[in-house]
Structure 1
């Protein structure tokens, strides 16, 4: 699996949960018999459907139209899977350190490793462009449900997919028009097909690094502290958006509050949560566990071993593998929690009760029975079909059998050539005109390709391909022939010219004719694999996705009819707002305070990884106010994709930066429990104090406080 594809897969699934005790207690006490549409504090609300009445009744706060417009304008999405925000009028962007890990790795050299040392741009000329970061600023949301439903009415299977793809492609293309370089348009399915919205974004692709601390402090405590609290992490990176070679003018931004939040204060998290499965059926959840999560968990566990062994070969190898190893470690821990929830009998009892209640509501009325039918049975049949297709789909179409950046480049060139020859409405989604700028940013990225690393990961994944599909499978025979995976990997990597941006540009410009005439071994491999990958993709789309979408739409319509817009849609990596308050929780009968402080950081430090402080922090100890709040927790409802989200107060000021959740929040994919679920953030007071005192960057601190350079 290539790095880009791995990140996309993880982003879609990297939420979990360990709810064993809570689920059993709640079922035993009968507390799940009547679950309200949304618990207090629960909800990832779209900005055009905020719970205004609840906010007014509970907190005495009404988000007015101007407040909402300002929040929307200041919030950002990192196209690679994180959130961010403008924090000055001059394009300054705040996000997490771990959201910029790839940039830091890509601009590092053997002489300067920016994962190990801090990056500080003392002037504008020192700000370095990140090769593959794209920022999206939401401009407008338009309901296009009627158009999509009209195009797909009465269709099923392949006809449904074709019609849906065409209408969505036409809507997106009309939205971006001739300005796809600056606009990104996406039709988003909400409520599992109950509604379709067109999201129109402004696109920033010239994004430059301004400040990043050492990973040792950004991820202080490493895996032992991950998804836990107390925490002592400065998980932040500051970037800057540029337009026409100059810092962007961004009048909507979140002003920094240097004092940070107070206990009990109302807080809002504005970001782009990736994926939740709170409205999945029982059949979908079982398939998620058995056919998606369990295989991916095993795959990542083996990949971790490969990356770990490679990183031990020397400092250069550790640098090359560091970003991916970090992501794999983080995901394995998250998936562990998610699988614990999906193996808890009490969880299934709750989900079945929830599902039975909606079924009973449908069955209680003849008109409802006629309108909705039995979509649950349709979903169960579709998931059974997927079980038989899952392995070849993962290995071929999702790319788990070909883990190399060079192969990802080759596939993009091959598919791009084939798809661009078709009418826009008939193309696969990544190759529509509106999506080509993002694809071209990846294709022509200046990020380095490391041959030794490529050979290692490709050899391992080719071995996995052979194991998963079998030695005698035709596609395995076509790919490997009589060669060993390691020998073929070396031949492919060493013989390819795709590390050259000029070579990629030539093939991209030459289209299908140039690609088919190419003798590059990686291009030849992508051409060889593409028919089989497309075939299994088409099977999944026609026999699984299409019936799932139709059945899910029926269930969504039933939910709408029963509950209306009092419910929020599952997360879809689109802009959401959650509300909550700064609040600790009780763990095994003991209170967990909501704040940590600089003093606790030094008490926790041991001098050895992962509790080893950078020299800057050791030297600054005597100059810091050790009473300064460092990290804090809130009841805000978040999930993967919210990384880098600003925490703002009712005045729209930054008081924190989301970077994690506690161990209980891993169940957020399926459930929110205000008693235990907590979001973890860096305090704005800690950010200002660290930038000023530890790193001596008075210029950046002043921009954050003043809102301009």
Structure 2
């Protein structure tokens, strides 16, 4: 393949009784598999061997774990059945829905394999193995002083190790994950399953009960679960969706314990938590509190207002924008929770005091002073630079994700430039023909949730913000146009979008992407504007790369000396790799004279439904069965009801959505889906007194499937 073709191809593809140990207090920690011996699981209450959880070369519980998109899931049958969250399947259900067949609103139940439908956009990833490759990466930069060169070599070395692993075994996907910034790296090997199908998804007023009112809040009454199935080719290899594919047979699947759990029971979670930032200096938290969290949450709030307005009287538009709205709302509330948490416990001040004590410790030890004498000042200098143009960095980081027309212009402009650089018409056509399908596929994905008026209004908002930036934050492309005020800047981008063919997928595909000549001939004001932004951001991106290199080395030293200071090895921050956390079913007191018990019930759900809040509407069948006390085997005596959601003091974050909650014997007793509002700060700090996570009790999952949706086949397949 021509090297230019390769480059652009990359650009375009953007039943036992649970045992109680209430006296043991778990520490924070999302333990990597290699660190399970440090967790103290047997002392805490684990009744199986640690090797039953993870045993290299042998089958263990980790073989039942999968990553589903950005979430976690687990196999619960020998036929590739996966349980995860409703919100993890949300986008796939939305894509399968139409105003006529609205699976998002009405739910979906496939009573046979033939009725299962493609879960568009979802893949399943299974961890096959991992290997520490820190020496292979860091030895390449041991003598490198230039920060840009350092970070580029690290990126290159990570890519090389990934490619080597995939050449050795073409059936896997490899990824080198940074465990501690600039300090340790691990090569993970994954099996990817491309054919994922919807099996059973409860209706929206069960799976999303409480909506944004209850999001990140306890008490919860949400049936946040769904069932998917993994399919592979008849020979067992990964394959794209095909009617010829067969259900995947996992090495291991979890057994369901329909008796659930009681208060103070030991529980643990395996999953793929996203990212935490606990091993960072106080200035990082200051950046979050002053800049990133308020900027992003306010922007997402505005975007959602525009999308809600657009879909108010148009069901098709409402469905098309549903996933964008849900993702924005989730991040927005999470960020506002973090802001409140940072302020409530004054975490920046706490971290500053810790860093001051660390600086004194370095200064009082001659050997450390020699090695790390300027470390704390260098960190401070780095963040002063970050603060100077933080608004500009955040604005550019949301330019393409916010203004989708600009993102489309970027793809078209990049494609045009790549073709124009070819020396002959023949090579130009070859490049066009090779990439056109991938480019269209990428654009199709954007247009699925594109709405011109929404895009114009978001553009107006971002341009008005940029008009008012001063000093180091000035967006030169906007200032050079000499707008008299912010309204004029907003009007300009709205008109620019309106006059472009890029707002209309059909016109773009028919008139612009028809051939090499039509693509190269097309110009408009939106493409020109995108090019101006690209040129302006190029130098800024170089500076950001330099800072990334500086920070990479600073954080490696920061963690190294902090481990000496605290006389312990840290558990690395979460980074989307497989981790274990453990704790107990446990309530908490978020405020004075307030205690939150760890179970909610169907009766509580019905009470919320009486409030008049439209987000608390639920299927009447739930009330009918509850009034008849048709609880079946899912009844919990202590609450005289069927438990709906559960609360526990495990250490979770984004990516743990869909993680299986297991009892002391490794049996499935629930599915993790959220945190309490006070625990949104978990990404920066964990505390047993307020860090609580939320899951759906397996008894509620089974009750809904059995008594409400008549999906008894699910219970039978899981052996219940």
Instruction: Name the CA distance, whole Å, in 2 between partners of 1:252 and 1:527.
Output: 51
Give runs of aligned pairs for residues 437-452 of structure 1, distance below 5 A. 443=441, 449=447
* Structure 2: segments with no counterpart, 5+ residues: 1-23, 234-244, 422-434, 469-473, 484-488, 636-640
Q: Separation in 2 of the partners of 1:420 and 1:152?
A: 36
Q: Pick 1 or 2: higher relative contact order, CA cutoff 8 A, min separation 6.
A: 1
- What is residue 45 of structure 1 aligned with on the other side? 31
Give the Å deviation of 1:696: 0.4
**Cα distance, 1:117 vs structure 2:** 0.9
Tell me whether 82-91 or 138-147 shows the greater mean CA deviation. Answer: 82-91
Question: How far apart are residue 233 of structure 1 and its match?
Answer: 0.8
Distance 1:120 1:678 in 2: 32
* Number of the residue aligned with 1:78: 68
Which of 220, 224, 230 is the equivalent residue of 2:213?
224
For residues 185 and 441 of structure 1, the distance between their equivalents in structure 2, rounded to whole angstroms, comes to: 25
Q: What is the number of equivalent residue pairs in this alignment?
A: 645
Deviations 1:174-193 (A, max 9, x none): 1222866x533222112333
Whole-angstrom distance in 1 between the partners of 2:139 and 2:158: 12
Q: Provide the residue aligned with 1:569 in structure 2.
A: 572
Match of 2:311 in 1: 311
Equivalent residues in 2 for 1:109-508 (5 A)? 109-153=98-142, 154-177=144-167, 182-244=171-233, 245-344=245-344, 346-396=346-396, 398-400=397-399, 403=402, 405=404, 407-408=406-407, 411=410, 443=441, 449=447, 453-470=450-467, 475-476=477-478, 484-492=492-500, 496-497=504-505
Q: 1:262 & 1:122 partners in 2: Cα distance?
A: 32
Structure with higher Rg: it is 2
Contact map agreement 2:675 2:692 (CA 8 A) in 1: yes
- TM-score, normalised relative to structure 1: 0.82
- Cα separation, 1, equivalents of 2:480 and 2:61: 53
Deviates more, 1:191-200 or 1:514-523: 514-523
**SS state at 2:40 partner:** helix
Cα separation, 1, equivalents of 2:32 and 2:511: 43
How far does residue 58 in structure 1 lie from its aligned partner after superposition? 3.3
1:41–1:418 distance in 2 versus 1, CA, 3 Å: farther
Superposition deviation, residue 95 in structure 1: 1.3
**How much does 1:119 deviate?**
1.0
Give the Cα separation in 1 of the matches to 2:518 and 2:540.
26
Question: Bigger CA drift: 238-247 or 523-532?
Answer: 523-532
Paired with 2:616 and 2:212, the residues of 1 have a C-alpha distance of: 11
Is the contact between residue 121 and residue 127 of structure 1 (CA under 8 Å) also seen in structure 2? yes
Q: Quote how far apart the aligned CAs of 1:360 are.
A: 2.9
Q: How big is each residue's C-alpha offset from its partner over 1:355-409, in whole Å with a ceiling of 9 and x where there is no partner? A: 233323322221112222332222222222223443343333x243563556546
The answer as to 2:584 corresponding to 1:581 is yes
Query: What is the CA-CA distance between 1:530 and the residue it aligns to?
Result: 3.5
Of 642, 656, 670, 1:642 maps to 656
Number of the residue aligned with 1:537: 541
Residue 673 of structure 1 and its aligned partner are, at CA, apart by: 1.9
Equivalent residues of 1:391, 1:468 under 8 A apart: no
Distance verdict in 2 for CA 1:405–1:259, change over 3 Å: farther
Aligned to 1:19: none
Q: Given that residues 460 and 485 in structure 1 are in contact (C-alpha distance below 8 angstroms), is that contact kept between their aligned partners in structure 2? A: no
Q: What is the distance in 2 between the residues matched to 1:62 and 1:575?
A: 20
Counterpart CA distance in 1 for 2:659 and 2:86 is 12
Larger displacement relative to structure 2 (474-483 or 555-564): 474-483
Q: Distance in 2 between the 1:505 and 1:616 partners? A: 51
Assess if the C-alpha contact under 8 Å between 2:599 and 2:644 holds in 1.
yes
Which residue of the other structure, out of 665, 669, 673, is the alignment partner of 2:679?
Answer: 665
User: Is the deviation greater in 474-483 or in 374-383?
Assistant: 474-483
Retained in 1: the 8 A contact 2:416–2:519?
yes
Q: CA 1:399–1:334 in 2, change beyond 3 Å: closer, same or farther?
A: closer
Which 10-residue stretch deviates more, 348-357 or 480-489?
A: 480-489
The answer as to 2:556 corresponding to 1:550 is no
CA deviation string 1:95-137 (max 9, x = no partner): 1111222112111112122221111112212212122112221
Decide whether the 8 Å contact of 1:404 with 1:454 is kept in 2.
no
2:706 maps to which residue?
A: 692
Deviation of the 1:620 alpha carbon? 4.0
Contact 1:262-1:582 within 8 A present in 2 as well = yes
Contact 2:583 2:650 in 1 (8 A): yes
1:28-47 per-residue CA deviation (whole Å, 9 max, x = no partner) reads xxxxxxxxxx9724211111
Provide the residue aligned with 1:9 in structure 2.
Answer: none
2:599 aligned with 1:595: yes
Q: What is the TM-score with the length of structure 2 in the denominator?
A: 0.81
Post-superposition shift, 1:77?
1.9
Q: Could you say if the C-alpha distance between residues 380 and 213 of structure 1 is closer, same or farther in structure 2, counting changes exceeding 3 Å?
A: same
Q: Deviations over 1:238-281 (max 9, x none)?
A: 11122122221212222221221222211111112222222210
The aligned counterpart of 2:44 is: 58
- Cα 1:546–1:448, aligned 2, differ >3 Å: closer, same or farther? closer
Contact 2:61 2:666 in 1 (8 A): yes
State the Cα deviation string for residues 537-560 of structure 1 (Å, max 9, x = none).
222111x21111110010111134
C-alpha deviation, 1:491, in angstroms: 3.3
**Which digits, 9 at most, give the CA deviation of each residue in 1:499-538, with x for residues without a partner?**
999999999xx9xx99766669877765554343443222
Q: Where does the alignment leave 5 or more consecutive residues of structure 1 unmatched? A: 1-37, 423-436
Residue 613 (structure 1) aligns with: 618
Greater Cα offset, 56-65 or 374-383: 56-65
Post-superposition offset of 1:310:
1.9
Write the distance in 1 (CA, Å) between the matches of 2:476 and 2:348: 40
Query: Cα distance 1:136–1:191, how it changes in 2: closer, same or farther (>3 A)?
Result: same
